[in-house]
Amino acid sequence: MGKLLDRFLRYVSVETTSDENSESQPSTAKQLNLLKMLRDELQAMGVEAELDEFGYVMATIPSNVDREIPAIGFIAHVDTSPDASGADIKPQIIPNYDGNDIVLNKENNIVLRVSEFPEMQQYKGQTMITTDGTTLLGADDKAGVAEIMYIAEYIMKHPDFKHGEIKIGFTPDEEIGRGVAKFDVKKFGAKYAFTVDGGAIGELEYENFNAASAKIHIQGCNIHPGYGKDKMVNSMLIAMEFNAMLPVEQRPRFTQGYEGFFHLTEIKGTVEETTMSYIIRDHDIAKFEEKKALLISIVEFLNKKYGEVVTMELKDQYFNMRQEVEPHFFIVERAIKAMEMANIKPKVQPIRGGTDGANLSYMGLPCPNIFAGGHNFHGKYEYVPLESMMKATEVILNIITLFQAVEGEE
């Protein structure tokens, strides 16, 4: 496990936060630092690898069997979420975790509490990797990156391990919904792929949210409050009214499973001008369209009430991959079998989020998602058990074995 830990720690030390306000590809140049590192490490192993102008690392390990096997890919993203700082990460390594609360930052009394995250107790006796309470950790998805790199090194050092052609992909900007915007599926060359971007051990997902974003601008009119009667239009109050017209029960705090939500991610305002950002999510496409229609109707209502003061930019981001994966369901079944071979109980569930695999599936590359091992992504309470990461590498190798061992496509 030491080699895998060393890889992970090396990768999280590289700042790779993406930026949704940037128009470049990748959105931040610092992501290229890690992408170049990965390309160079793959080439040093003897793997054919390249980094293109858009920030995609694509690599190929040739087949070492004498019959035709579908090429399979494994993909992870290098960027970390802009929801929390990804700079100067200082991981804490806790061997033989005792099952109790973990003090992340004594000075600021930041504690990873079992009462809040009871799933921690299932990792008693394992090696826990946490933050220091000031940044995120980056296991989303540098755990997946490290796991894929680990199996690449393993395969190159073990020529007796039989496999078909293996494709490896590393992408930027997944966290801002642009991870595969310019990804060349044909060039990548895989017939099927898996993103290694899930959470806890055993997670396997082939359905995800339909997703959209909404950026709202409210133009007020600022008049001296002493003389504002019938003249002042306070854009912040209209923003509050806008948010109050959305169903409270459809906020992330109150939803789970297949339930969708409206999530207010940012608000900035003065009397004169306010901007708001939302993400809209639902697994059911009909309910997803209803959510977008509700936003449009609220804009129309407020403009009728206050006089064309609200504008909205509403964009689809990705769609539920289920309808693209189900016709090739045997790849999900092989992932289930690969977990069972590793003595892992598969947890097949919908993703309450999205992965590069969702868009790739609609681009002609069926791409379910398997666990990378982490918990509490995008914040200071993020952690990953090292043993879960090792199990992820075992599952990847088992998937490769199953694809070369099973004749034909089901």
Query: Is 213 in a helix, a strand, or coil?
Result: strand
Model pLDDT, residue 361: 95
Q: Out of 317, 343, 378, pick the residue that ends a domain.
A: 317
The answer on pLDDT for 97 being more than 90 is yes
Side-chain half-sphere exposure of 387, counting CA atoms within 13 A:
14
156 with 182, same domain: the answer is yes
The answer on pLDDT for 408 being more than 70 is no
Q: Where are the alpha helices (DSSP H) in 190-274?
A: 235-244
- Band of pLDDT at residue 252, cut at 50, 70 and 90: very high
Residue 169's CATH number: 3.40.630.10
φ and ψ at residue 203, rounded to 5 degrees: -65, 135
The answer on pLDDT for 345 being more than 70 is yes
Q: pLDDT tens for residues 42-89?
A: 999 999 999 999 999 999 999 999 999 999 999 999 999 999 999 999
Model pLDDT, residue 407: 54
Number of domains making up the chain: 2
What's the Cα-to-Cα distance from 318 to each of 112, 260, 281, 359, rounded to whole Å?
A: 33, 14, 10, 6
Q: pLDDT tens for residues 260-309?
A: 999 999 999 999 999 999 999 999 999 999 999 999 999 999 999 999 99
- Band of pLDDT at residue 352, cut at 50, 70 and 90: confident
What's the Cα-to-Cα distance from 242 to each of 136, 234, 287, rounded to whole Å?
A: 31, 13, 20
91 with 75, same domain: the answer is yes
59 with 175, same domain: the answer is yes
Specify if 135 maps to a domain: yes
Side-chain half-sphere exposure of 14, counting CA atoms within 13 A:
23
- Band of pLDDT at residue 92, cut at 50, 70 and 90: very high
Catalytic annotation, residues: 79, 174
The answer on pLDDT for 111 being more than 70 is yes
Model pLDDT, residue 353: 80
Model pLDDT, residue 354: 77
Query: Taking a C-beta distance cutoff of 8 angstroms, is the pair 127, 1 a contact?
Result: yes
Specify if 349 maps to a domain: yes
Q: State the average pLDDT over residues 303-323.
A: 94
389 with 310, same domain: the answer is no
11 with 96, same domain: the answer is yes
Specify if 410 maps to a domain: no
Tokens of 47: 């793997």
Q: State the average pLDDT over residues 223-228.
A: 94
Q: State the average pLDDT over residues 333-357.
A: 93
**Which comes out higher in pLDDT, residue 389 or 353?**
389
Model pLDDT, residue 196: 97
Percent of the chain with pLDDT over 90: 93
69 with 190, same domain: the answer is yes
Nearest CA to 318 out of 178, 195, 170 is that of 178
The answer on pLDDT for 189 being more than 80 is yes
Specify if 278 maps to a domain: yes
CA distance 220 to 222: 6
Model pLDDT, residue 57: 98
277 with 326, same domain: the answer is no
Q: Out of 300, 317, 334, pick the residue that ends a domain.
A: 317
Mean of all residue pLDDT scores within the chain: 96
134 with 278, same domain: the answer is no
83 with 179, same domain: the answer is yes
**Which comes out higher in pLDDT, residue 409 or 281?**
281
Q: Which residues pair with 61 in a beta bridge?
A: 166
Q: pLDDT tens for residues 384-403?
A: 999 999 999 999 999 999 99
- Band of pLDDT at residue 318, cut at 50, 70 and 90: confident
Specify if 346 maps to a domain: yes
137 with 38, same domain: the answer is yes
Specify if 86 maps to a domain: yes
Side-chain half-sphere exposure of 357, counting CA atoms within 13 A:
31
CB count in 10 Å sphere of residue 56 = 23
The answer on pLDDT for 113 being more than 90 is yes
- Band of pLDDT at residue 235, cut at 50, 70 and 90: very high
Specify if 122 maps to a domain: yes
Specify if 360 maps to a domain: yes
The answer on pLDDT for 406 being more than 80 is no
Q: pLDDT tens for residues 145-176?
A: 999 999 999 999 999 999 999 999 999 999 98
Percent of the chain with pLDDT over 70: 99
148 with 218, same domain: the answer is no
Residue 288's CATH number: 3.30.70.360
116 with 185, same domain: the answer is yes
Sign of the C-alpha dihedral computed for residues 148, 154, 157 and 159 taken in this order: negative
Nearest CA to 321 out of 283, 349, 291 is that of 283
Question: Which domain does 201 fall in, by range?
Answer: 2-208+320-405
CA distance 80 to 96: 28
Cα 99 off chain centre by: 27
Q: Out of 261, 296, 317, pick the residue that ends a domain.
A: 317
Model pLDDT, residue 340: 98
CA distance 313 to 3: 46
